[in-house]
Chains A and B, each alone.
Chain A
Amino acid sequence: MEKHRGFPYYTKRVLRASLETGTFAHLLHRITGLLIVVYLFLHMGVISLAFINGQTFDDVMVTFSSPFFLVMDLVLFAGVMIHGLNGIRIMLFDMGLFTRKQKELFWGLMVVAIVSVLIATWLVATAKGWW
């Protein structure tokens, strides 16, 4: 039986493993996916306000157009792009494509995600006259 080495040892091992590109990509995909599920339920809860009271719905929508929530929208967009592009990467591997270029594909797609978020940020900032 393996000797028990204690909590710090295992924490270090998990942290070191998660620095491997593959593990990192897997954890990132998992965390973004679960966060989007949480967002989905919050989002549906807010839309459901329309069912209950139209004025409340409009008031909440005004709150959501504040800079803080617009930035949160961009965070959500970033999460969706990271999860979506990495999801495409996973499906390519399922089809036997790019299986020898997994890390390169991951970092390439993350660059695409960052660029798309920068474009979205630029669109919002321009429309809102943030500069």
Chain B
Amino acid sequence: MQQTVHLKASRRSFWLWFFQRVSSVGLIVVLLFHMIALHYIDPSAEIDLLSTKIRLQNLVFVLADIFLLGFALFHGLNGVRNVVYDYWPKPGTRKIISSILLVVGIAVFIWGALVLAYLVLLG
């Protein structure tokens, strides 16, 4: 019994560690594309709602945005979890904070996807 509990916990921390790396590599591609394309290719371009909607008619930007949303949320919030686990030894508190971070992550992902869908479809 004790054994299976430990196995489950260590399996979970392996996969979280692993996806922290996967999202890091994903973010290098997607986040650099996002910042360079929107800010530094033409820094004098004015960004407004209309130009944003036009840009999002291009599937590449939509895919980049949805992956950026997912990778950044997972990576950032799992990073916060890692920081909390470094400073907080109490299992009860850890569990509560992990659950809050999970719920926040899912809720913000859905919210971001809705805003993106609005910008793409009702443009």
Whether chains A and B associate is yes
Is B43 a contact partner of A124 (Cβ separation < 8 A)? yes
Give the interface size class of chain B.
20 to 34
A51 with B118: in contact, given A40-B72, A91-B21 (CB under 8 Å)?
Answer: yes
Interface residues in B55-99 by Cβ distance below 8 A to A read 72-73, 76-77, 79-80, 83
Interface residues in A52-73 by Cβ distance below 8 A to B read 54, 57-58, 61-62, 64-65, 70, 73
- Asked whether any CB of chain B lies closer than 8 Å to the CB of A106, the reply is no
Is B115 a contact partner of A47 (Cβ separation < 8 A)? yes
A-B contact pairs, 16 of them (CB 8 A): A34-B80, A40-B73, A47-B115, A50-B49, A50-B115, A57-B48, A65-B46, A65-B47, A70-B43, A87-B24, A88-B24, A120-B39, A123-B40, A124-B43, A128-B43, A128-B44
- Asked whether any CB of chain B lies closer than 8 Å to the CB of A44, the reply is yes
Is A127 a contact partner of B42 (Cβ separation < 8 A)? yes
- Min CB distance A69 to B, Å, is 11
| Complex Cα gap A126–B40 (Å) | 11
A123 with B43: in contact, given A40-B73, A50-B49, A51-B115 (CB under 8 Å)?
Answer: yes
- Asked whether any CB of chain B lies closer than 8 Å to the CB of A110, the reply is no
Please report whether the interface of chain A is mostly helix, strand, loop or mixed according to DSSP.
helix
- Asked whether any CB of chain B lies closer than 8 Å to the CB of A48, the reply is yes
Q: Which residues of chain A are near B102, meaning CB under 8 Å?
A: none
- Asked whether any CB of chain A lies closer than 8 Å to the CB of B108, the reply is yes
Neighbour of A48 across the interface among B25, B44, B52, B115, CB < 8 A: B115
Q: Which residue of B lies closest to A44 (CB)?
A: B112
Neighbour of A61 across the interface among B35, B46, B108, CB < 8 A: B46
| Complex Cα gap A11–B112 (Å) | 42
Q: Which residues of chain B are near A36, meaning CB under 8 Å?
A: 76
Q: Which residues of chain B are near A87, meaning CB under 8 Å?
A: 24, 28
| Complex Cα gap A57–B35 (Å) | 19
Neighbour of B48 across the interface among A34, A51, A61, A123, CB < 8 A: A61
Taken residue by residue from 75 to 103, chain A's Cβ proximity to chain B (1 for < 8 Å, 0 otherwise) reads as 00100100010011001001000000000
- Min CB distance A21 to B, Å, is 20
